[in-house]
A and B are shown apart, each in its own frame.
Chain A
């Protein structure tokens, strides 16, 4: 499965588990508006580390958390390389 599909699937799963409604996931969507709160994102990042074998936000010293969904996906695509 591609990175972006895995991320989409996990976001849908976490949103469902946390009883949240997910906004349509396009590249320009601000993560702050996507429907997941910080606990939801913390769980998502932990799940994605299991699924993709990488946590781009803990790996680098100067990691900056992305602002849009597109940046979020890119961080994983770059991390997986």
Chain B
């Protein structure tokens, strides 16, 4: 879909305030220094007009290279850190990669042979004048498929940044922090928010303990903080959460249930708390600011704010907007239907005057012919005051094909006595019985110290 002409990132950086820094665990750069220097050295000129794979290991060098490559490269393919080496060849071939940007941590990879290789360093070399902006760069982002070659989704800067509103001068200095990795759609939004808003940005690091990350966010005075509900549940388990005081708290990427929204409200009584809905293909669809789970039914129907949504016959939310991706790279598979609607695969259910997300189309558990979304059971379990987070998964059953079983992480870090656990299990089961039809009550509940969160920030759901 065509977009109005958008400014390049360099146009925004030209107005960077002196105190705008991007930081990661190990270093930092002043954004305005990119007006007088380059992190790509002599290689900058070699990248002109190329299709560039951004294979940097650190998010700091990723941020530098993204700013320098927009308007300069023909195409940028942003490589998330967890893409399997086996899939790199397919990505490089399909995206016609002829240059690779690496940093000190990038793996040596035979798949890069034959492409121009340019190193990116956080310390900048002086540059009299940056290259002229001459291209509307294509941005290619990878989806987080669990198996197979990831899909490559084509965007442009106008669509990627269309959901970002100019901030009012009264807001004061903004310091963005995110638990996400900026090399995926969800995290990249906050890189853009920082660049376009003249804000500082505190980047995450997958290897950093949560308490250290929270301390770092607090030390740099984070004012706006974003992550998935799983990220936030994990953060709320650490006393160090008391050291951060964001004015704005944002959730996206997973279903924000009432328990996590209330939990954040209790810890941040004065913050604005918003949950947003977006996908790599559909783009940012909406944000909800009333502190309640789900979204008002009025969001569906006529276009609001340039985004039109409808609920398809199978209950899936479908989205059409200028923020939607253009196409898949290297695949003929259509990204949207003939009318331009992207099927998100996220199932919604209307209750009263709100729609609620109940789960993924592909994640349904079939219990003797009755269909269950794990997420709707988790949302009920999470309402128990002692529960921090939960995961419901199918367990094969010789009788009904499958039953739903739950793993539960409790809020109290200490090991509860066995008797207390039996009592908690009975309380959780009672909660489920009071709320859910019989087949959705978990057949078994086990207590676990933690649940795995994938690199995407979403709860890791093993396939049955």
Question: Interface on A for B, CB 8 Å cutoff?
Answer: 17-19, 38-39, 41-43, 45-47, 49-50, 55, 57-58, 63, 65
- Please determine whether B395 and A63 come into contact, CB atoms closer than 8 angstroms: no
Complex CA distance for A49 and B396, rounded to whole angstroms:
12
- Please determine whether B443 and A58 come into contact, CB atoms closer than 8 angstroms: no
Closest CB of chain B to A70's CB: distance in Å?
A: 19
* Chain B, residue nearest A49 (CB): B444
In the bound complex, residues from chain A placing their C-beta under 8 Å from that of B438 are 18-19, 39
Closest CB of chain A to B84's CB: distance in Å?
A: 32
- Please determine whether A38 and B368 come into contact, CB atoms closer than 8 angstroms: yes
- Please determine whether B446 and A46 come into contact, CB atoms closer than 8 angstroms: no
Extra contacts besides A42-B403, A49-B444 (8): CB < 8 Å: A18-B438, A39-B368, A41-B399, A42-B367, A45-B397, A46-B444, A47-B444, A50-B446
Which one of B368, B396, B400, B441 lies within 8 Å of A17 (CB-CB)? B441
Complex CA distance for A81 and B444, rounded to whole angstroms:
24
- Please determine whether B397 and A42 come into contact, CB atoms closer than 8 angstroms: yes
* Chain B, residue nearest A38 (CB): B399
Asked whether any CB of chain A lies closer than 8 Å to the CB of B429, the reply is yes
- Please determine whether B367 and A58 come into contact, CB atoms closer than 8 angstroms: no
In the bound complex, residues from chain A placing their C-beta under 8 Å from that of B439 are 39
- Please determine whether B400 and A39 come into contact, CB atoms closer than 8 angstroms: yes
Complex CA distance for A50 and B444, rounded to whole angstroms:
8
Sampled A-B contacts (19; CB under 8 Å): A17-B433, A38-B368, A38-B399, A38-B400, A39-B367, A39-B400, A41-B399, A42-B367, A42-B368, A42-B397, A43-B403, A43-B443, A46-B395, A46-B397, A50-B444, A57-B398, A57-B399, A58-B396, A65-B399
Asked whether any CB of chain A lies closer than 8 Å to the CB of B405, the reply is yes
* Chain B, residue nearest A46 (CB): B443
- Please determine whether B398 and A58 come into contact, CB atoms closer than 8 angstroms: yes
- Please determine whether A63 and B398 come into contact, CB atoms closer than 8 angstroms: yes
Complex CA distance for A42 and B402, rounded to whole angstroms:
8
In the bound complex, residues from chain A placing their C-beta under 8 Å from that of B405 are 46
* Chain B, residue nearest A59 (CB): B398
Tally the A-B contacts, defined by beta carbons under 8 Å: 47
- Please determine whether A42 and B400 come into contact, CB atoms closer than 8 angstroms: yes
Closest CB of chain A to B424's CB: distance in Å?
A: 15
Closest CB of chain A to B443's CB: distance in Å?
A: 4
* Chain B, residue nearest A47 (CB): B444
Complex CA distance for A15 and B399, rounded to whole angstroms:
17
In the bound complex, residues from chain A placing their C-beta under 8 Å from that of B397 are 42, 45-46, 58
Complex CA distance for A57 and B429, rounded to whole angstroms:
25
- Please determine whether B443 and A17 come into contact, CB atoms closer than 8 angstroms: no
Complex CA distance for A15 and B2, rounded to whole angstroms:
61
* Chain A, residue nearest B400 (CB): A42
Complex CA distance for A11 and B405, rounded to whole angstroms:
18
Given contacts A58-B396, A65-B398, contact A42 B441 (CB under 8 A): no
Complex CA distance for A19 and B433, rounded to whole angstroms:
10
Complex CA distance for A49 and B441, rounded to whole angstroms:
17
Closest CB of chain B to A41's CB: distance in Å?
A: 5
Complex CA distance for A63 and B438, rounded to whole angstroms:
27
Interface residues of B in 387-430 (CB under 8 A from A): 395-400, 403, 405, 429
In the bound complex, residues from chain B placing their C-beta under 8 Å from that of A49 are 444
Complex CA distance for A47 and B444, rounded to whole angstroms:
6
Interface centre among B433, B438, B441, by most A CB within 10 Å? B438
Closest CB of chain A to B438's CB: distance in Å?
A: 6
Complex CA distance for A55 and B399, rounded to whole angstroms:
12
Complex CA distance for A14 and B432, rounded to whole angstroms:
14
Complex CA distance for A63 and B405, rounded to whole angstroms:
23
Closest CB of chain A to B464's CB: distance in Å?
A: 13
* Chain B, residue nearest A51 (CB): B444
In the bound complex, residues from chain B placing their C-beta under 8 Å from that of A17 are 429, 433, 441
- Please determine whether A46 and B368 come into contact, CB atoms closer than 8 angstroms: no
Complex CA distance for A49 and B93, rounded to whole angstroms:
49
In the bound complex, residues from chain A placing their C-beta under 8 Å from that of B400 are 38-39, 42
Given contacts A39-B367, A39-B368, A65-B398, contact A47 B443 (CB under 8 A): yes
* Chain A, residue nearest B438 (CB): A18
In the bound complex, residues from chain B placing their C-beta under 8 Å from that of A46 are 395, 397, 403, 405, 443-444
In the bound complex, residues from chain A placing their C-beta under 8 Å from that of B368 are 38-39, 42
Closest CB of chain A to B422's CB: distance in Å?
A: 11
Closest CB of chain B to A61's CB: distance in Å?
A: 12
Closest CB of chain A to B82's CB: distance in Å?
A: 32
Shortest 10 CB-CB contacts between residues of A and residues of B: A46-B443, A57-B398, A42-B400, A43-B443, A42-B399, A42-B397, A42-B403, A46-B403, A41-B399, A46-B444
